[in-house]
Structure 1
Amino acid sequence: MPTETLPSPPPGRTGEPAAAPVPGPGPASTPASTPVPARMTGRAKLVLLLLCAAQFIVALDFSILNVALPVLGRDLGMGQADLQWAITAFALPSGGFLLLFGRIADLYGRRRLFLTGLALFTAASLLAALAWSPAVFLAGRALQGLGAAVIVPTGMSLLTTTFTEGPQRERALGISGTLLSTGFTIGMVLGGVLTDSLGWRSTMGVLAVAGIAVLAVAPALLTESRHPERPRIDIPGAVTVTGGLLALIYALSTAAEAGFGRPDVPVTLVLGAVLLVAFAVVESRAAQPLVSLPMLRRPTVAWGNLAGLVTFAMMSAVIFLLTLYLQEVLHLSAFLSGLVFGVQGLFAVVAGLVAPKVIGWIGARRALATGLAVQAVCTAALLGLGTASSGVWLATIATTVACFGHLWAIVSYGVIVTSGVPDTEQGLATGLVTSAQQIGLTVGIPLLSALASARVTALREDGAGFADATLGGIRLGLGADALLVAAVAVPAAAGLSRAARRSRSRTDYAPAK
């Protein structure tokens, strides 16, 4: 649908400072008096449904295969050490190429790239479902990840350029964030059900069927948008940032299975850090950089993305640690454990619908700080878990309340990071948003898993039983999780507040909430 670009709202609308726009040509703005409709048209709702469906499919793929891995390994003859690659083969391209494809979409057409990525993802899912050998299956997973790296930033940039800043975009981001979060949780439940009833291939087959359904209607609903001048791609920047992200994700994914003591883990961590530093140097000297450094220096972008990375990393880690608790300490079946997270998924839908209203009441930056605080407090409450079966109720209640804070944080940081950015830069802005999401999903579990495992080993060496040692490791991981979320919430809130005060001193707008 045609996109109308409107000026950024006053700070009071979203709680964000009216930051100066990022340099770059963009469409002319309409007069400030032009009203922004709060209600979506029927066509806009269909576009939102389409884009959210695509994001939901990708979110499912992050977790739907986890439960099926043992059965998959036996069927394809993959050893325990090789099963890690079923996850890593997807995580590497899906996280490593996000920024590059987000920028390519800005320059050469978001609709075109979105459809290409969706077609690639669908074909790769079918290939993985029909795989006759480990090599073919892993190739399908890698192509799925590459397709996801196209779909996620282009879908988000289509969303933010379709819905203008204010109530419409906040509502759209609320629904999108809800489906992204619930997709990860539902994937865990659906993977178990499909594997038990139809076999592991059905977990990949359902993604192919869903991709075909979305691909069938997408061309009729989406219209093209791109940068008007098509500047050249910054090749050195693309190589360094993609290489750095690939090295970082490989190291962390490998550490989740083999630990940080494996020699290639620290080597690739250092390589990733060196490449990302080189990327910063390249971008500071490039005439047409892949990532605008002034954009990265904006407090809204820096603090917003940091908060987004942490809320995703730490919530995914909570789910992982609680899965261990329910199955290894309380000895619940995979199906019953899935039901516990299913309750969280249901309430996440409500949380996502409420999030735009919360932002309207208190502003995006306060909603972000509140969401992180709720998530931290509820995670800390899980330190009360014990070996009694009553721990199921504490786990269910605490994660259900935490999902409200988590969804408020997700939607708020999306609003904060994309507000005030011209349409010509939305692919880059949403590429940064989705990079924070994907890296968060990749980083949180291996970091806290390694911490918990070290604690379990130490307790076992001291003579503790298996259940008590496992519980001790889980508690340490949950405590570190809560502390990290709280540690980011405080400076993020302070940094965004300072940015808001500086912005008010330069404008005649009403004070931010």
Structure 2
Amino acid sequence: MSTIEHVVTAPARISDAARARLVLAVLLTASFTLAVDFSILNVALPAVGADVGFSLDALQWIPTAFALGAAGFTLLFGRVADVVGRRRMFLVGMGLLGSSSLVGGLADAPAVLLAARAAQGLATAIVTPAALSLLTTSFAPGPLRERALGLNGALMAAGFTTGAILGGVLTDVLSWRWAFFVNVVVAAVALVVAPLVLRESRPAVRPRLDLPGALSVTGALLAIVYGLTHAEATSWGNGVTLGALVAGVVLLMVFVAVERRATEPLVPLRILGRREVAVGNLAGVLAFATETSLVFLLTLYLQKVLGLSPLMAGLSFAVLGAGTVLGGMAGPKVIARVGTRRALVAGFGVQALATLSLVWLGTGDAWLLLVLAATFVGGVANLVAIVAFMVTATHAVADEEQGVATGLASMSQQVGITLGTPIMSAIATGRIGALGGVTPAHVLSGVTLAIVVNAGAAAVAAVVLAVSVARR
């Protein structure tokens, strides 16, 4: 293992307690902003297409361009942050986020907007693991780190929900372009404050970057994310979809073979071989895949069945956002009382029950009360699971490898977000198509079927984790 040399860049006049609060504020604000970016344009897509010149079938590439960069390069840049410095990469990523958001807000052609959106995704891949590793190395293992991770997880999940709300508000009140311009302001503030409060960490002897491993895993993730998104737009049997998914699996196998032989691997297989890391990241994929895809399903229900406007549908998720914040604060307390694995089991179990209650949704407006209650309870439970996942995936890893561990955790989050919606969308739309038309009753049937699968995924996660706990 390499020796890490910590260089203190915070001014002496700032006390340790004050600096810790500023560190937390800077890193959590960045994480929240990046989470918002995943969904802020979803409600605004028709308006974006009309203004910039996208055809209806090309609108899917706006979120896809972001997802490809965000999920495809996270692991690579997590390792780069370990090598060249976490604070340095955080600042580079925030600079890219600000500049690409400015270009996106001013875009007047589809190619310019897609390039800006892809650059935003790349900025997310740079900032997310760097911010998370700075967070874990700024606080010693124990209650303080767990509380910080709890807040981070809460804001990450709340950010996805907030993006849906904020996108509708900005589009109706100002313009969809402000969904980009907001990032410019956040990035500018972060670039001023971060150098004053964040401490750099870098290896005294820098290892070589595993280029073959980086290329193979990045190519695998790009192919898988592209295949999943293409499946949502076409079908799971489409030749391009299958080709992309097969290519992704093959490249993952190549990546494993490369890592076994590399003298300085991108991801040491001893980390992936640790039970805590493997279980934690699997839980992370499922936690983000189930809850974010449920937001998509309920958006479909609220607009196509209950007839709510995009703005009102977005505002309905404010209760879910409140639940995620509460769950993020409660997560460390639950972990302290029952342990991380039991917290994972409890979180997934309660989330499964809350989600399953939504199968009784009907076509009347009164069913909105069930949506609000179930999403609040499910949001609390989901964040307890997310906090436990973050603690499990990073707790047993040395500081000098936190970039890899947090890169894996960040990748799990983003792959989960990218994976869940296409799968649930395919289930719902497949059912709607089989019924022969897009009527409120048919949409409700499709959404209900997908909700059953969603709840089942959370329940399976709870059972698998419970067995793991018992064996341990």
Q: TM class, shorter-chain normalised?
A: over 0.9
Counterpart residue identity of residue 486, structure 1: A
Q: How does 1:235-314 map to 2 (within 5 A)?
A: 235-314=211-290
- Name the residue aligned to 2:315: 339
Q: Report the counterpart of residue 48 of structure 1 in structure 2.
A: 24
Q: What secondary structure is seen at the aligned counterpart in 1 of 2:186?
A: helix
Task: Read off the aligned partner of 1:476 and give its amino acid letter.
Answer: L
Q: Is contact 1:125-1:207 (8 Å) kept?
A: yes
- Which secondary structure does the structure 2 equivalent of 1:450 belong to? helix
1:351 is the counterpart of 2:327: yes
Structure 2: distance between partners of 1:99 and 1:378? 33
Match of 1:224 among 200, 212, 226: 200
Matches within 5 A, 1:187-202: 187-202=163-178
2:455 maps to: 482
Please point out which of 364, 387, 394 is paired with 1:388: 364
Q: Which residue of 2 aligns with 1:6?
A: none
- 2:378 maps to 1:402: yes
Shift of residue 156, structure 1, vs aligned partner? 0.2
User: Does 2:344 align with 1:364?
Assistant: no
Aligned-pair RMSD on alpha carbons? Answer: 1.4
TM-superposed deviation, 1:27? 5.7
Structure 2: distance between partners of 1:252 and 1:61 = 19
Cα deviation, 1:327-353, whole Å, max 9, x if unaligned, reads 101111112212210111123222211
Structure 2 match to 1:101: 77
Counterpart of 1:160? 136
CA deviations on 1:44-72 (whole Å, 9 max, x unpaired) are: 11101100000011011111111111111
| Separation of aligned partners in 2, 1:49 and 1:493 | 35
Paired residue for 2:465?
A: 492
Q: How many percent identity over aligned positions?
A: 48
Structure 1 position 391, deviation (Å):
1.2
1:87 to 21, 41, 63: 63
**2: CA distance between counterparts of 1:245 and 1:46?**
34
The one-letter amino acid paired with 2:219 is G
1:150 equivalent to 2:126? Answer yes
DSSP-derived class of the 1:156 partner: helix
> Do the aligned residues in 2 keep the contact of 1:125 with 1:208 (CA within 8 Å)?
yes
> What are the superposed Cα offsets for residues 468-491 of structure 1, whole Å, 9 maximum, x if unpaired?
111111111000111111112212
Could you tell me whether the CA contact under 8 Å between 1:84 and 1:254 is conserved in 2?
no
Paired residue for 1:72?
48
Q: Distance in 2 between matches of 1:196 and 1:205?
A: 16
Q: Which amino acid aligns with 2:294?
A: V
Distance 1:391 1:256 in 2: 28
Describe the superposition over 1:260-310 as per-residue Cα deviations: whole angstroms up to 9, x where unpaired.
243211110000010001101111111111101111111111111101100
Equivalent residues of 2:4, 2:201 under 8 A apart: no
Q: Give the corresponding residue for 1:445.
A: 421
Structure 1 CA distance, aligned partners of 2:17 and 2:469? 33
SS of equivalent residue, structure 1 residue 226: strand
**Partner SS state of residue 317, structure 2:** helix
Cα deviation for residue 136 of structure 1 reads 1.0
* Structure 1, gaps ≥5 residues long: 1-23, 29-39, 502-513
* Cα distance per residue 1:5-54 (max 9 Å; x no partner): xxxxxxxxxxxxxxxxxxx34569xxxxxxxxxxx822111101100000
Name the counterpart of 1:469.
Answer: 442
The residue that corresponds to 1:16 in the other structure is none
Q: Tell me, what secondary structure is at the counterpart of 2:108?
A: coil
In the alignment, the residues of structure 2 paired with residue 306 and residue 26 of structure 1 have an alpha-carbon distance, to the nearest angstrom, of 30
Aligned position for 1:10: none
Letter in 2 for 1:110: R
Matches within 5 A, 1:105-120: 105-120=81-96
Structure 1 Cα separation of the partners of residues 364 and 208 of structure 2: 61
Amino acid paired to 1:93: G
Which of 389, 411, 436 matches 1:435?
411
| Equivalent position amino acid for 2:431 in 1 | R
Is the 8 Å Cα contact of residues 175 and 353 (structure 1) preserved in structure 2?
Answer: yes
Would the alpha carbon gap of residues 436 and 415 (structure 1) be closer, same or farther in structure 2, given more than 3 Å must change?
A: same
Give 1:63's aligned residue: 39
Unaligned runs of 5+ in 2: 6-15
How far the C-alpha of 1:496 sits from its partner, in A, is: 4.4
Establish whether residue 137 from structure 1 lines up as the match of residue 110 from structure 2: no
